[in-house]
Homo-oligomer: A and B are copies of this chain.
Amino acid sequence: MSAIGNLRERVAELADLAALEMLATWDQLVMMPAQGAGARALTLGTLARLAHDRAISEEIGSWLQEAEGSDLGDVDRDLVRVGRRDWERARRIPPELAAERARACADGQETWQQARAEDDFSLFSPALKRNVELARAYGECLAEGAGPYEALLQDYDFGLRTGELQELFGALAHDLPPLIDGSAAKSTPEEMAIPEAAQRKAVTAMLRRIGVDDGGWRVDVSAHPFTSWMGRGDIRLTTRYTESGTESLLSSLHEYGHALYELQVDPQLERTNLGGGTSMSVHESQSKLWENHIGRDRAFAEVLAGELASAGFDVAPGQLHAGIVSVRPSLIRVSADPVTYPLHIVLRFELELALIEGNLAVDDLPAAWREGTKRLLGLEVPSDALGCLQDIHWGAGSFGYFPSYALGCLIAAQLWETIVAEIGPREDHLRRGDVSAIQRWLGEHIHSHGRRLDTIPLVQQATGAGLQTAPFMRYAGSLTAA
């Protein structure tokens, strides 16, 4: 077989193994009996080890070299380019470090859970110190002259620079708080309690309206909403039903954004190393676009209110809309409103950068968290459980992941302005729940490319500009205006 034939076969195998990992993880979170957790952890460990062995094997190197010297079509050229990048990065990590990180990540999550439950940072700090050291060591293996934090970023978002993030997030830290100060003075509408049965019916009807059918989708319930794709014709999202009635609707739209991205990748990239979303931040831009710019649109509130009415819960579209766009600084990231949300990320970015680069000691984290929360959100932190112990990420050894959440908000706003500029205002369409032109635009300009374009060139190509804060600031301004 030719070198490119061998490469294609191997990346197809790796895509299949990734699909199995998705499936086993989805099953664990949605279907598996609780007592199966131990066996599932072992199974997932075996799968990860096998996939890693197949991804770093020597022969890939000779196939790449031969393919790089041959005459290839466009897709194969990208397949080889991304293949070399993935292969070289994977091979730079010593197996002992990878194994040690996997153990520390499992231990760290458990310790974190206990520390949060007991609101006792001192229980968590030894595990966090170990995770910081291992992440720094990991980053140094990949750094190639840059700092270890920038190297960690590349796992989630290839091509991002720490300096660019500092600039973007610095602008948010400067410009957002004044907007919020003005808005928080306004009275906030009370939360609406919507019966679960009505939420379920409305979520199902809303998703069906935008293309979620039983033939190629599943919609289930899980403790934390997420999206999985097991291959063509099999996309699964989850939601959850809480007392706060609109969360299930908005979070379903959020997950739908992730799902649509994977669904609309060019079919010719299927089962290659190019056949998925290009980065965490672009993925998050897709979910945020559906959540913030469609779900929170005033005209689309008529669709949501209509579906709720059909499900037996009457609410005026205006009242529903006021509830889902209200802005008020709060302590917990995952329930933050769309305007203050990025400030939670700015705080985490500042702190994790300082931890990895050695400018902040783990023991000083709680104090730094309190200072940052006061500075960015104007709030006092009454306890570490509601402060620096609230997120699982650092306990699980994930550093460099948080920025994608805020970048997602920025890119979503930037894409939305481009969509409106290119295909016209969406008000009339959204009032009828017609999102077909938006789906097509996203498919053409974002989704179809898969991993062929990295975040920054993709955004540049779709919007004519690099990453910016201005579109998001205009969106934030529209929500905080009197």
A residues whose Cβ falls under 8 Å from a Cβ of B: 12-13, 16-17, 19-20, 23-24, 27, 31-40, 42-43, 46-47, 50, 214-218, 230-235, 271
Contact B36 A233 (CB under 8 A): yes
A35 to B42 CA separation, bound complex (whole angstroms): 30
Contact B46 A17 (CB under 8 A): yes
Q: Which residues of B contact A33 (CB under 8 A)?
A: 214-218, 233-235
Q: Which residues of B contact A31 (CB under 8 A)?
A: 31, 218
A215 to B17 CA separation, bound complex (whole angstroms): 28
Q: Which residues of B contact A46 (CB under 8 A)?
A: 12-13, 16-17
- Report which residue of A31, A34, A234 has the largest number of chain B beta carbons within 10 angstroms of its beta carbon: A234
Q: Which residues of B contact A17 (CB under 8 A)?
A: 46, 50
Contact B40 A234 (CB under 8 A): yes
Contacts A24-B20, A31-B31, A42-B271 given: A36-B232 contact, CB under 8 Å? yes
A230 to B40 CA separation, bound complex (whole angstroms): 8
**23 interchain pairs (CB within 8 A)?**
A16-B43, A16-B46, A17-B46, A17-B50, A19-B39, A20-B43, A20-B47, A27-B27, A33-B218, A33-B234, A34-B215, A35-B215, A35-B232, A35-B233, A38-B232, A39-B230, A39-B234, A40-B230, A40-B231, A40-B234, A42-B231, A42-B271, A50-B50
Q: Which residues of B contact A217 (CB under 8 A)?
A: 33
Q: Which residues of B contact A37 (CB under 8 A)?
A: 233
Residue in B closest to A231 when the chains form the complex, CB atoms: B39
Contact A36 B231 (CB under 8 A): yes
Question: How far in angstroms is the closest Cβ of chain B from A95?
Answer: 14
Q: Which residues of B contact A40 (CB under 8 A)?
A: 230-231, 234
Contacts A23-B23, A23-B27, A50-B13 given: A36-B271 contact, CB under 8 Å? no
Interface majority SS (helix, strand, loop, mixed), chain A? helix
Copies per complex?
Answer: 2
16 additional contacts (CB under 8 A) given A19-B39, A39-B231:
A12-B42, A13-B50, A16-B46, A17-B46, A19-B43, A20-B43, A31-B31, A32-B230, A34-B215, A35-B215, A35-B233, A35-B234, A36-B233, A39-B233, A42-B231, A43-B231
A42 to B27 CA separation, bound complex (whole angstroms): 19
Contact B36 A234 (CB under 8 A): yes
Q: Which residues of B contact A23 (CB under 8 A)?
A: 23-24, 27
Contacts A16-B47, A20-B47, A27-B27 given: A38-B271 contact, CB under 8 Å? no
Interchain residue pairs A-B with the least CB separation, the first 8: A39-B231, A36-B234, A35-B233, A16-B46, A35-B216, A36-B233, A16-B43, A39-B232
A19 to B28 CA separation, bound complex (whole angstroms): 13
Contacts A23-B24, A23-B27 given: A16-B42 contact, CB under 8 Å? yes
Q: Which residues of B contact A16 (CB under 8 A)?
A: 42-43, 46-47
Residue in B closest to A49 when the chains form the complex, CB atoms: B13
Question: How far in angstroms is the closest Cβ of chain B from A40?
Answer: 7
Q: Which residues of B contact A27 (CB under 8 A)?
A: 23, 27
- Report which residue of A20, A31, A43 has the largest number of chain B beta carbons within 10 angstroms of its beta carbon: A43
A43 to B17 CA separation, bound complex (whole angstroms): 7
A477 to B216 CA separation, bound complex (whole angstroms): 51
